[in-house]
Amino acid sequence: MSESVLVATAEGIRTITVNRPDKLNALDQATLLALDAAFAQAAQAADVRVVVLTGAGPKAFVAGADISQMTGLPALAGRDFGLVGQRLMRRIERMPKPVIAMVNGYALGGGLELAMACHLRIAADTAKVGQPEINLGLIPGFGGTQRLLRLTGRAAALELCLLGEPIDAQRAHQLGLLNRVVPAAELEATTRQLAERLAASAPLALRAILDAVIVGGECGLDEGLEFESAQFGLMFASEDMREGTGAFLERRKPNFAGR
């Protein structure tokens, strides 16, 4: 793994950290590729049930793409750079395990796009988020226009992209960009508690929920309902469903094995 991405696993929770604090964790191509590899490994790892993504240092989750690498790129190379970022975001979004963004500071440009690709986003009350690409003569290129539209609606997506002004965590929460905002001193503990709760849940059902919500958001209602019904039925073939329903009836805590 690249030094720009750190990976640690404990009790079913894999923490992936963007480790470029001197650059406010800006995403150059090497870091994008290292993150892609880290998430590919996490998806396949049998000992991983939940992934937490964060940034190193006290200032930034990810402050954006690395502008120094982007300057001077010709059009086709710029498009290719954007596609590398989009592939990473899509991999995260389609992960078979829940991914939590622990937003510990600035999440701007590519950093907000990275957070939006995660399934849940918890932020410190000191965090700021935004899509400031307009100030560089650019547009969001890692999926920002599309995921903002889906998460916040057209009005907020256009405001964030057209004005390019960061907003604080509280407003981001109101817009639906963040699931929770907590005091900075409590961010790590709160994220850990949520990750532990997810790690103890039924893995097959978690995956089916992730698939159903993502697929449903990309197709018509009838297709989404059909997909949901298929996933619902598959759960009846699992040991976890027997364990979960049995534990409920026996008034005990279930022990899910992912089978």
| Residue-range domains of the chain with CATH | 5-199 (3.90.226.10), 203-250 (1.10.12)
pLDDT at 1 over 60: no
* Nearest by Cα to 139 from 158, 121, 115: 158
CA distances in angstroms from 139 to 84, 107, 144, listed in the order given: 16, 16, 9
pLDDT at 77 over 60: yes
157-174 confidence digits (pLDDT tens): 999 999 999 999 999 999
* pTM, 2 dp: 0.93
94-109 confidence digits (pLDDT tens): 999 999 999 999 999 9
In angstroms and rounded to an integer, the radius of gyration of the C-alpha atoms of the chain is 19
User: What pLDDT does residue 144 have?
Assistant: 94
Three-state SS string over 117-162 comes to HCCEEEEECCCEEECHHHHHCCCCCCCHHHHHHHHHCHHHHHHHHH
179-196 confidence digits (pLDDT tens): 999 999 999 999 999 999
State the pairing for strand pair 128-130/167-168: antiparallel
Rounded CA-CA distance 123/129 in Å is 10
Q: Where are the alpha helices (DSSP H) in the chain?
A: 29-44, 67-70, 75-93, 110-117, 144-152, 154-163, 169-175, 187-199, 203-216, 221-235, 239-250
* Nearest by Cα to 151 from 177, 112, 130, 132: 177
pLDDT-derived band at 230, boundaries 50, 70, 90: very high
**146 alpha carbon, distance to own chain's centre:** 15
Rounded CA-CA distance 246/257 in Å is 14
Phi, psi of 164 (to 5 degrees): 70, 20
Rounded CA-CA distance 253/18 in Å is 36
Rounded CA-CA distance 255/143 in Å is 38
72 phi-psi bin (left φ>0, alpha ψ -120 to 50, beta other): left
As annotated, the active-site residues are 113, 133
In the chain, the N- to C-terminal Cα span, in Å, equals 30
125 phi-psi bin (left φ>0, alpha ψ -120 to 50, beta other): alpha
* Nearest by Cα to 130 from 162, 90, 104: 162
* Nearest by Cα to 6 from 49, 54, 63, 40: 54
